[in-house]
Structure 1
């Protein structure tokens, strides 16, 4: 816990304050402390709800929800089991959403009562939302689809075999037609043609490039890497950018980050490897949402993946210090599909570089869903849109 130094009776005492509590006086803090070093008892109204993506239906896990303070932070205790970062500004109370996007926030009794309005904020990676809620009423929140209102600034490089933009549209960042495709022109993110990646590396001012405008860059399978400045791309990620590439777009990952991953094989089209989600937070979230055939994930964390393109790329961590930091999120059994010494291989992986993150997936979106329905692999991509840095 963080310590808050207070002057009481002419001596300095250390008082531990609960992470979701607020006190109006030194005496109240002393009275609340149970004397054994634990957090004080928090009293007040409970504000509860769900945080959603712009579509109003996809829950956002592990997000920070808090009541901002106009003065100094009222409560300074660290959350021992926090699944989200502490707010970066002064706050009255804060908490985290769970894997279903739900949260419960105790509003201190001396701050607001039932029927009164409070300002509440939620943040998740590059996303944020602020709204006014009435204590005692529904406290659901929805991220906006527009950058001016807190959405991440996103660039998508189109490809030949993948359409990540369709999943973004299902998330509420554009309109979706009857066959689950983005209605071009309705998107709230920037689309670049498959052969136009070089535009992101145009220098806007000395040392500043077009790519630096974006929080997230998605590269579809089949996009051309011609004109990509690997040094600029590395720096973009190091400064906090998020890079996501699928399948044949592996050069966007391998070439700038050769000390992390390498391509070891190609696979046949139509492969359907027996696959498993090995990253626990992703598995928990998938269990809370639905897909076209009902459940997105089996009780044993098995997941159905399809639509592998002919010649799909299989990447592995490099045998290096950097390669050791690569995390496998989804893995598959490739026995009978690719001849390898080890048949269990990563199909979705992630690594951090500087303050940013790179995510690579050997599979991608496929046609066949309708409206706003999802295939399991689309749900995986959807989760990573918000949780790549978790």
Structure 2
């Protein structure tokens, strides 16, 4: 039963009885609604750690109207970060530093909304009149990752990156199991028995008519997971349906078959040849040389963000390049983007690498993403460094942080 409707009906009845008994003195006009105010909103959107900025997020006020400081309406321009549910609502994009500023005519009890990738935040505002309103730091709550799933792997620990963002407690640079705001699945027999195996994602345990992976908005597949059971024809079909319906997946290094076997038309991997719409041989691309240290070129928006965050042992980016290390023997090498999908695939990082059969360094994509249906896929050939610092971030960890909010 909708209790709010019941309470409203009770109050209305009480008012009618008072009027009938002569105590109300007749009907009185309802007070006018509070006037709207024209305010210039500013603030900064961050991860739950209240420090890591979230760039190019859409920020808007529900039921507002765009305007100038004088309250005059202005024509709305398309924003690169998206469009509010009602296009006429006042909105802005956050900068590389996560900051935003825009002028809006807002209702008496306005709600600020921020949307970035798989994340949405709502914050009630208090407005006392026209003027400036600085809302300060607006941090995503840890619960914003409640529908995330992370499948553990022997060689990558994206769960540690998430924990450092504020989605779990950290000890010596690692997630403290049991404190995570997301759901952990055991992909490499490394977790205690209370955690489900990765195969549970493809089971309909709650009997709602679809695999439980559909209960998650994002799934991270760490390098080194036991992927054999995940690449059955049925599970491949489930993964494809999940992403097409709006799900988002992230895979790193040797978990590349999670991408190649499901979405073969987008990327070309080394080590095997197949038609663009057919998957290449399983594990064939795992031919990368170990010990590489790569100065990777990165996308301009990512570069701008990296300039504003801190890393251990120096800047996160220098001369437009990001220092990437920790390549283990047999890392999965991308050859490039299939020609028909050049416009669909975003290359975030690329750099000179060597691999079996290629002793001279050649430029290869290292981190990419693309949309499929209503969902999105991200893949990176490198991953977290086993010797990552207990405090602070390596440059490649920062890149992964950025990608979390691009999912």
Contact residue 45 and residue 139 of structure 2 kept, 8 A? yes
Aligned partner of 1:131 in structure 2 is 123
Contact residue 83 and residue 96 of structure 1 kept, 8 A? yes
Structure 2 residue runs of 5 or longer lacking an equivalent are 1-34, 68-72, 128-132, 189-196, 271-284
Contact residue 62 and residue 110 of structure 2 kept, 8 A? no
Q: What CA deviation, in whole Å up to 9, does each residue of 1:280-337 have, x standing for no partner?
A: 1111111111111231111x31110011111111023464524663332101112588
1:153-164 maps to which residues of 2 (within 5 A)? Answer: 153-164=147-158
Contact residue 297 and residue 376 of structure 1 kept, 8 A? yes
| Corresponding position: 1:202 with 2:224 | no
The structural deviation recorded for 1:138 is 4.0
Structure 1 residues 296 and 270: CA distance shift in structure 2, 3 A: same
Range 331-340 or range 206-215, more displaced: 331-340
Structure showing greater radius of gyration is 2
Range 229-238 or range 87-96, more displaced: 87-96
CA–CA distance in structure 1, aligned partners of residues 355 and 288 of structure 2: 11
Range 163-172 or range 135-144, more displaced: 135-144
Aligned partner of 1:267 in structure 2 is 288
Matched position secondary structure for 1:139: strand
CA–CA distance in structure 2, aligned partners of residues 168 and 126 of structure 1: 14
Matched position secondary structure for 1:275: strand
Aligned partner of 1:78 in structure 2 is 76
Q: What CA deviation, in whole Å up to 9, does each residue of 1:322-358 have, x standing for no partner?
A: 4663332101112588617981111111122112111
The structural deviation recorded for 1:130 is 1.6
Structure 1 residues 269 and 335: CA distance shift in structure 2, 3 A: closer
The structural deviation recorded for 1:244 is 0.6
Cα RMSD for the two superposed structures: 2.8
CA–CA distance in structure 2, aligned partners of residues 76 and 261 of structure 1: 43
CA–CA distance in structure 2, aligned partners of residues 84 and 137 of structure 1: 21
CA–CA distance in structure 1, aligned partners of residues 387 and 218 of structure 2: 26
CA–CA distance in structure 2, aligned partners of residues 107 and 338 of structure 1: 59
Contact residue 267 and residue 338 of structure 1 kept, 8 A? no
Matched position secondary structure for 2:136: coil
Structure 1 residues 293 and 304: CA distance shift in structure 2, 3 A: same
Contact residue 145 and residue 167 of structure 2 kept, 8 A? no
The structural deviation recorded for 1:251 is 1.1
CA–CA distance in structure 2, aligned partners of residues 324 and 302 of structure 1: 23
Q: What CA deviation, in whole Å up to 9, does each residue of 1:205-244 have, x standing for no partner?
A: 4751111111111011101112221011011111111111
CA–CA distance in structure 1, aligned partners of residues 169 and 360 of structure 2: 45
| Corresponding position: 1:245 with 2:251 | yes
CA–CA distance in structure 2, aligned partners of residues 199 and 316 of structure 1: 33
Aligned partner of 1:365 in structure 2 is 384
Range 188-197 or range 306-315, more displaced: 188-197
Aligned partner of 2:277 in structure 1 is none
- Out of 91, 96, 108, the residue aligned to residue 93 of structure 2 is 96
Contact residue 48 and residue 140 of structure 1 kept, 8 A? no
Contact residue 67 and residue 91 of structure 1 kept, 8 A? no
Range 235-244 or range 197-206, more displaced: 197-206
- Out of 122, 131, 138, the residue aligned to residue 114 of structure 2 is 122
Aligned partner of 1:294 in structure 2 is 314
Structure 1 residues 84 and 336: CA distance shift in structure 2, 3 A: closer
Aligned partner of 1:326 in structure 2 is 345
CA–CA distance in structure 2, aligned partners of residues 76 and 87 of structure 1: 16
CA–CA distance in structure 1, aligned partners of residues 359 and 125 of structure 2: 56
Aligned partner of 2:260 in structure 1 is 254
Contact residue 47 and residue 139 of structure 1 kept, 8 A? no
Contact residue 180 and residue 372 of structure 1 kept, 8 A? yes
| Corresponding position: 1:285 with 2:305 | yes
Range 306-315 or range 368-377, more displaced: 368-377
CA–CA distance in structure 1, aligned partners of residues 349 and 94 of structure 2: 23
Structure 1 residue runs of 5 or longer lacking an equivalent are 1-23, 26-42
Aligned partner of 1:182 in structure 2 is 175
Matched position secondary structure for 1:140: strand
Range 263-272 or range 354-363, more displaced: 263-272
The structural deviation recorded for 1:125 is 2.0
The structural deviation recorded for 1:91 is 6.6
